[in-house]
Amino acid sequence: MAVQSRERVIEVIEGRVPDRIPVYGWVRANMDKPITEAFGSVEAFEDKYAFDFAHLFGGPSTYVGDALRAAWAERPGGLEPADVLDLPMTDPRDTDAYANIVEQVRHHKEARGRFVYVQTPGIFEALNGVFGIQNHLMHLMVFPEDLERVYRRQAEWNRDFAMTCLDLGVDMVHVSDDWGGQDNLMFSTDTWWDLIYPAHRITAEAVKDRGAWLSLHSDGNVTAVIDGIIKLGYDVVHPWQVSAGMSYATYRERCVDAFALMGGLDVQTTIGFGRHDELVANIEEVLGQFTDGHLLYCTSHFVQDHCTIEELTLAFDTIYRVVRELARG
């Protein structure tokens, strides 16, 4: 009996060896036009390469837009944490705001049998849009008590957003929260444990209590807080950025029994640079390391618009070929 895509992804997340490595790619955001010209639609591209899982976007924004814009106008130098505590938030339980997610669940999960996960806000990344990243980093040092209250408010909203998505049939809650630079965190490890970790725990515990899966996206090097990621109960981590100094050896030594990896095709160094032989060699080398499971193969982020459609096609032709050559049974 043929293994369905969703089952294949679950095998990896739960630590078993799938019949073949599951595949996906973040291709829509910057490549919609050339893909549509070449394949008819992004959906046709996804079907051609038999994508096994899908990253869903949508739902409401956290803060009421008019109120946030008015607050920015009143403080052109930037908002402080105390200003944000009084900003009105949208209702994360208003299912009318999730129509696009409902449609994506229907398309990917119900019609095509894919595993579906939904982008949900993190804490630091989500509030960078409110404060600006430079101000936000300063606030971590100057206003930690006020930020703790802002973070808790954001976390409780995030939790309700996640619960609504699970109610709508999403398989996994994917928390997007960039913490890393190219060598280390953008802030101290103590700050992460004191402020970021407790806020993440609110959503993490709620998702796990529902018996659902939980994944983390964080660009950059997050090695310093691996123990915290494991303690929070993340089932999947994306992208495990080798180009930022993380290694698959470290993953094998410290994390392989705790969570699966999502990623493997680096948009920062590998795809989109016209080095076709290196691209093919990298795909073959990375996939060859995970014949025992543990990997949901996809791009580390959105494929950038400097990638040609010829190179994108080469990449996914190669991926399609290699995962089937390596398939067991």
Q: What is the pLDDT of residues 278-300, one digit of tens each?
A: 999 999 999 999 999 999 999 99
State what percent of residues in the chain have pLDDT above 90: 98
Closest C-alpha to 320, from 304, 291, 297, 303? 297
For domain 5-325, give its CATH number from 3.20.20.210, 3.40.50.10440, 3.30.428.10, 3.30.360.10.
Answer: 3.20.20.210
pLDDT digits (tens, 9 = 90+) for 10-24: 999 999 999 999 999
Q: What is the pLDDT of residues 113-158, one digit of tens each?
A: 999 999 999 999 999 999 999 999 999 999 999 999 999 999 999 9
Region 200-212: mean pLDDT is 98
Q: C-alpha angle 294/248/309, rounded to 5°? A: 80
Amino acid letter, residue 254: R
**Residue 115 burial (C-beta neighbours within 10 Å; 0-12, 13-18, 19+):** buried
Residue 43 has a pLDDT of 98
Taking the C-alpha atoms of residue 9 and residue 52, their distance in angstroms, rounded to an integer, is 7
Direct distance between the N- and C-terminal alpha carbons of the chain, in angstroms, rounded to an integer: 12
Q: Which of 305, 300, 301 is nearest to 273 (CA)?
A: 305
Distance CA 145, CA 197 (A): 15
What pLDDT, on a 0 to 100 scale, did the predictor assign at position 1? 45
Model confidence pLDDT, tens digit, residues 78-127 = 999 999 999 999 999 999 999 999 999 999 999 999 999 999 999 999 99
- Chain-centroid distance of CA 62 in Å reads 18
Token representation of residue 6: 């969703």
Q: Is the peptide bond before 239 cis (omega within 30 degrees of 0)?
A: yes
Nearest C-alpha neighbor of 232 from the set 248, 245, 213, 251: 213
Half-sphere exposure of 144 (CA within 13 A, CB side): 10
pLDDT on residue 112: 97
Q: Provide the pLDDT for residue 3.
A: 76
- Per domain, the residue ranges of the chain are 5-325
Q: Which of 37, 109, 8, 104 is nearest to 313 (CA)?
A: 37
Q: Partners of 185 in the beta sheet?
A: 180
Q: Are strands 295-299 and 260-265 parallel, antiparallel or unpaired?
A: parallel
Please state the rounded mean pLDDT for residues 151-175. 98
Tokens 């209250």 locate to 149
Instruction: Report whether 42 contacts 36 (CB < 8 A).
Output: yes
Asked if 321 and 286 touch (Cβ cutoff 8 Å), the reply is no
Our measurement of the distance from residue 76's CA atom to the centroid of its chain's CA atoms, rounded to an integer in Å, reads: 31
Residue 2 has a pLDDT of: 64
pLDDT value at residue 329? 47
pLDDT digits (tens, 9 = 90+) for 40-54: 999 999 999 999 999
